């Protein structure tokens, strides 16, 4: 079994899907691992470290990928590259097949067995493979650091010869994986932290991190542990209570998402206008349109004295640890397939069956039924 990894090509992407640690484990499992020279450099991993782990550094993406049985990536390789991969090769990464029709066509035309890891079911067994969680943790952490950097205040309370400084009041909107890491990070910096979410179980999680649960009187737990979209009445109620509350807040970090939909708009332009000058909003949902009406994805703007940042791909800005976690997630997933000397696909395993794209037609448990012989 050959496994290939090329340099990431998406602008600004510093992460890598293979680390020397996971290369070593894949080699120990009997595979041959090729990595394009320099692929790990932006994440702090040298070609020498990969070679020492038993992987072969090769000169270009073609040499790494074109005859590999399994291609590992963070973001998908360019469409031209997908079109020349081995027919039937396995592709594992954050593939977002719906985001680009050409990419989707390349995957299906080439018969690639694509596993977009964002489709992985979020079951207990899948936790060690859950790239959305591992990368969201880094994003939530970095979002708070960006907010602290942009804010014209201290986060902690300080007692100094020049008097006492009040701690910053930080509100985290959405207490999923990123939001909880944001709460923990803001607390470590000494801020007074509040969080809210529409899933009621987050109250206890927010409190266990030393945050205060902001009760806006709206509860909207949906399927599979995710949130559902709010009804118009629920949204109006949330907005009314929130608008009042934001007048006393110094920093907001928003992380709210509903799977498969644009980010819910929670902070209106009017709410931004009602905030104190010098307040800061960091909108982690910028990638899917933003939780704040004033967010411009990829930019930092100032509106009526309020700074609104919409950073993109924050996990990449913590490329060393984000890659370590991502590569372990990928290794754990690929381990389901690697059965030296060949790949094996157990389509009864829901982690494979639910992740693969395009969706496979359910196989009759009795096996395929042959057409009766013509008489
Ligand atoms: P996500 O990125 O889809 O959403 C982030 C948060 O935004 C969620 O907590 C959601 O409830 C919240 N939200 C949505 N609409 C909102 C609104 N209008 N107002 C306020 N908040 C809103 O979610 P995620 O962080 O990827 O995961 C959600 C949850 O799924 C996690 O907190 C976790 O409990 C669960 N999960 C379980 C596993 C597992 O058991 N294997 C793995 C990952 C996540």
Helix 177-188 vs helix 131-150: angle between axes, to the nearest 10 degrees?
40
Whole-number pLDDT of residue 352: 97
With a 6 Å cutoff on the Cβ, whether 171 touches ligand 1 is no
- Average pLDDT value over all residues in the chain: 94
Nearest CA to ligand 1 atom 8: 176
Whole-number pLDDT of residue 143: 98
Average pLDDT of the segment spanning 121-148: 97
The pLDDT tens digits of the residues spanning 190-232 come to 999 999 999 999 999 999 999 999 988 888 888 877 888 888 9
The Cα 59–Cα 35 span in angstroms is 9
Whole-number pLDDT of residue 258: 85
> Of residues 85 and 216, which shows the higher confidence score?
85
Contacts of 191 (CB under 8 A, 6+ apart): 155, 156, 167, 168, 169, 170, 251
Whole-number pLDDT of residue 225: 78
Answer whether residue 375 shows pLDDT above 90.
Answer: no
Average pLDDT of the segment spanning 316-344: 97
Answer whether residue 245 shows pLDDT above 80.
Answer: yes
Answer whether residue 282 shows pLDDT above 90.
Answer: yes
In the block, tokens 């996971």 appear at 22
Whole-number pLDDT of residue 364: 46
Ligand 1: centre distance to CA 177 (Å): 6
Report, as residue numbers or ranges, the catalytic residues.
Answer: 122, 127, 130, 133, 226
Whole-number pLDDT of residue 362: 58
Average pLDDT of the segment spanning 324-336: 98
Mind giving me the DSSP string for 169-223?
A: EEEEE--SHHHHHHHHHHHHTT-EEEEE-SSTTHHHHHHHTT-EE---S---B-G
The Cα 149–Cα 80 span in angstroms is 40
Ligand 1: centre distance to CA 194 (Å): 17
The Cα 334–Cα 339 span in angstroms is 10
Answer whether residue 20 shows pLDDT above 90.
Answer: yes
Answer whether residue 365 shows pLDDT above 90.
Answer: no
Q: What is the pTM of this model?
A: 0.93
Answer whether residue 367 shows pLDDT above 60.
Answer: no
Scanning the chain, the segments in alpha helix (DSSP H) are 20-28, 47-52, 61-65, 79-82, 101-109, 131-150, 177-188, 202-208, 232-246, 269-273, 319-334, 350-355
The Cα 59–Cα 6 span in angstroms is 10
Which helix (H) or strand (E) segment is 304 a member of? none
Whole-number pLDDT of residue 106: 97
Whole-number pLDDT of residue 368: 44
Which DSSP state fits 345?
-
With a 6 Å cutoff on the Cβ, whether 345 touches ligand 1 is no
Whole-number pLDDT of residue 216: 85
Nearest to 21 by CA among 344, 315, 317, 321: 321
What percent of the chain has pLDDT above 90? 86
The pLDDT tens digits of the residues spanning 154-185 come to 999 999 999 999 999 999 999 999 999 999 99
Of 246, 256, 293, which is best to mutate to test ligand 1, by the most ligand atoms within 8 angstroms of its C-beta?
256
Answer whether residue 246 shows pLDDT above 50.
Answer: yes
pLDDT level of residue 46 (50, 70, 90 thresholds): very high
Q: At 139, list the tokens.
A: 């994003």
Of 227, 237, 332, 333, which is best to mutate to test ligand 1, by the most ligand atoms within 8 angstroms of its C-beta?
227
């Amino acid at each position: 079994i050959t496994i290939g990894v090329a340099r990431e090509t998406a602008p600004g992407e510093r992460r890598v899907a293979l680390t020397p640690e996971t290369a070593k484990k894949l080699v120990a499992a009997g595979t041959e691992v090729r990595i394009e020279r320099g692929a790990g450099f932006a994440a702090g991993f040298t070609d020498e470290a990969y070679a020492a782990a038993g992987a072969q550094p090769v000169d270009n993406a073609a040499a790494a990928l074109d005859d590999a049985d399994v291609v590992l990536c963070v973001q998908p390789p360019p469409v031209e590259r997908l079109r020349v991969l081995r027919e039937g090769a396995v592709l594992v990464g954050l593939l977002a097949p719906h985001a680009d029709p050409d990419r989707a066509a390349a995957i299906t035309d080439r018969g690639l067995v694509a596993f977009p890891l964002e489709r992985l079911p979020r079951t207990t067994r899948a936790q060690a493979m859950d790239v959305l969680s591992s990368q969201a943790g880094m994003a939530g952490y970095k979002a708070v650091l960006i907010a602290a950097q942009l804010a014209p205040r201290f986060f902690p309370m300080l007692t100094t010869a020049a008097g006492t400084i009040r701690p910053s009041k930080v509100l985290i909107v959405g207490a999923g994986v990123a939001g909880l890491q944001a709460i923990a990070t803001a607390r470590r910096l000494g801020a007074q932290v509040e969080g809210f979410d529409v899933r009621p179980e987050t109250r206890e999680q927010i409190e266990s991190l030393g945050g205060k649960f902001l009760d806006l009187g709206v509860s909207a737990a949906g399927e599979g542990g995710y949130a559902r979209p709010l009804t118009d009445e629920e949204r109006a109620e949330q907005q009314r209570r929130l608008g009042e509350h934001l007048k006393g807040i110094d920093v907001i970090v928003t992380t709210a998402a509903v799977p498969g939909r644009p980010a819910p708009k929670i902070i209106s332009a009017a709410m931004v206008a009602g905030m104190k000058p010098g307040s800061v909003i960091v909108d982690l949902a910028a990638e899917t349109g933003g939780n704040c009406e004033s967010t411009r994805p990829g930019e930092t703007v100032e509106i009526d004295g309020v700074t609104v940042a919409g950073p993109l791909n924050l996990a990449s800005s913590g490329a060393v640890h984000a890659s370590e976690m991502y590569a372990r997630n990928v290794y754990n997933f690929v381990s389901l397939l690697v059965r030296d000397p060949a790949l094996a696909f157990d389509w009864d395993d829901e982690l494979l069956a639910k992740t693969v794209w395009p969706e496979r037609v359910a196989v009759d448990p009795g096996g395929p039924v042959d057409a009766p012989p013509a008489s």
